[in-house]
């Protein structure tokens, strides 16, 4: 079995021991390949196309998203060792973020012995077009698509490298509140089937602070915006927070973190198989914590579809 390792170059320093042991690991039935250099993603892509059996990710949500672009829709197995700042995907999947090098080596031996399970996961397929229908970008999300205030907080949080977890996002929230203005979005959610069918819910124009589409419960380093969301389900959750005064904006993420959803009156949530969002010019779209389309100059039509069994996650006994 051939395993390609995708390591985030900015992964936390405590993962150095794992990286070292990966390079030294030797097993008659396993071949571990660790692409290095600035083109490590391109190297990994070529190895997977050549028939590698599994991809091990050592990193956070952004690196897992990179892996999702490579693996979605294939039978190649995905293994995850959390090593990011937020680790929202890992939290939602209950993957322990303190995985040691010894535990990983033991996992490899279990993999070689066939002592593991494969858990199919849903991923979100994204398509962005202009109002005239011109394709702008396609891609995948493994945990969340963030639009509006949440995306702005994400951008600010990414610049606050010294802070970690929820504290990083709370600090970013404080810095973003003074200049933020709610925007007008058009949203439709298909409860089942395809967009435009009679089962559509939550459709219309909204003056919104943020829109978030999730197949995992957490955003922002552990904030449970959609506690019911799960990558093992065939649907996603769509959250919309209406216009809020600045004082309420200040309390938004702390209330969500404390699961005070009922106290947030303009919060509406739906779950479904697909959604379409008309995104105004200048409003950024973030995916799994990283910029996907930043400050677009024109209105975009974003379609998001939940695709069951898009990923094959390895679980050890």
- The tens-digit pLDDT sequence of the chain (317 residues) is 899 999 866 555 556 667 777 777 778 888 888 888 888 899 999 999 999 999 999 888 999 999 999 999 999 999 998 888 789 999 999 998 777 777 888 888 888 888 999 999 999 999 999 999 999 999 999 999 999 998 998 899 888 878 876 678 788 888 999 989 999 999 999 886 555 554 556 578 999 999 999 999 999 888 999 999 999 999 999 999 999 998 888 888 889 988 999 999 899 999 999 999 999 999 999 999 999 999 999 999 999 999 999 999 999 86
- The CA-to-CA distance between both ends of the chain, in Å, stands at 19
Q: Tell me the C-alpha distance between 308 and 305, whole Å.
A: 10
Partners of 223 in the β-ladder: 219
Q: Which residue has the tokens 């769509």?
A: 238
Distances (CA, A) of 159 to 38, 152, 173: 21, 11, 12
Q: Tell me the C-alpha distance between 66 and 64, whole Å.
A: 5
CATH 2.60.200.40 maps onto the chain at 123-310
CATH 3.40.50.10330 maps onto the chain at 2-114
Using alpha carbons only, give the angle 135, 138, 143 rounded to the nearest 5 degrees: 145
Residues 236/295/66/86 CA torsion (nearest 10 deg):
-70
CB 140 within 8 A of CB 126: yes
The CATH code of domain 2-114 reads 3.40.50.10330
Closest CA to 121 of 313, 315, 314, 316: 313
Using alpha carbons only, give the angle 230, 235, 236 rounded to the nearest 5 degrees: 70
H/E stretch holding 268 reads: strand 267-272
Angle separating helix axes 149-158 and 165-176, nearest 10 degrees: 120
Q: Tell me the C-alpha distance between 237 and 208, whole Å.
A: 17
Task: Assign a CATH topology to domain 123-310.
Answer: Tumour Suppressor Smad4 (2.60.200)
What the block records as the tokens of 317 is: 């006994």
């Amino acid at each position: 079995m051939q395993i390609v390792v995708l390591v985030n170059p900015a992964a936390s320093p405590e993962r150095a021991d794992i990286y070292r042991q990966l390079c030294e690991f030797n097993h008659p039935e396993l071949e571990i390949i660790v692409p290095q250099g600035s083109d490590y993603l391109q190297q990994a892509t070529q190895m997977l196309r050549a028939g590698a059996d599994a991809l091990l990710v050592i990193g956070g949500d952004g690196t897992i998203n990179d892996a999702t672009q490579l693996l979605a829709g294939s039978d190649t197995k995905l293994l995850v060792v959390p090593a990011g700042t937020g680790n929202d995907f890992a939290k939602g999947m209950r993957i322990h973020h303190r995985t040691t090098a010894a535990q990983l080596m033991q996992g490899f031996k279990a993999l070689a012995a066939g002592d593991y399970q494969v858990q199919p996961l849903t991923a979100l397929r994204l398509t962005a077009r202009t109002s005239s229908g011109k394709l702008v970008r396609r891609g995948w999300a493994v945990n969340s698509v963030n639009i509006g205030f949440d995306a702005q907080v994400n951008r600010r949080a990414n610049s606050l490298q010294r802070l970690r977890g929820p504290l990083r996002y709370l600090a970013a929230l404080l810095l973003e509140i003074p200049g933020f203005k709610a925007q007008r979005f058009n949203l439709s959610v298909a409860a089942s089937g395809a967009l435009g069918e009679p089962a559509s819910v939550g459709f219309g124009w909204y003056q919104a602070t943020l829109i978030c589409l999730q197949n995992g419960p957490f955003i922002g380093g552990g904030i449970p915006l959609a506690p019911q969301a799960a990558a093992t389900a065939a649907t996603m959750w769509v959250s919309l927070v209406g216009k809020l005064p600045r004082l309420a904006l200040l309390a938004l993420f702390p209330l969500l973190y404390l699961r005070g959803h009922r106290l947030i009156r303009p919060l509406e949530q739906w779950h479904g198989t697909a959604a379409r969002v008309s995104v105004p010019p200048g409003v950024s779209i973030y995916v799994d914590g990283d910029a996907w389309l930043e400050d677009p100059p024109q209105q975009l039509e974003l379609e998001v579809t939940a695709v069951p069994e898009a990923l094959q996650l390895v679980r050890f006994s």
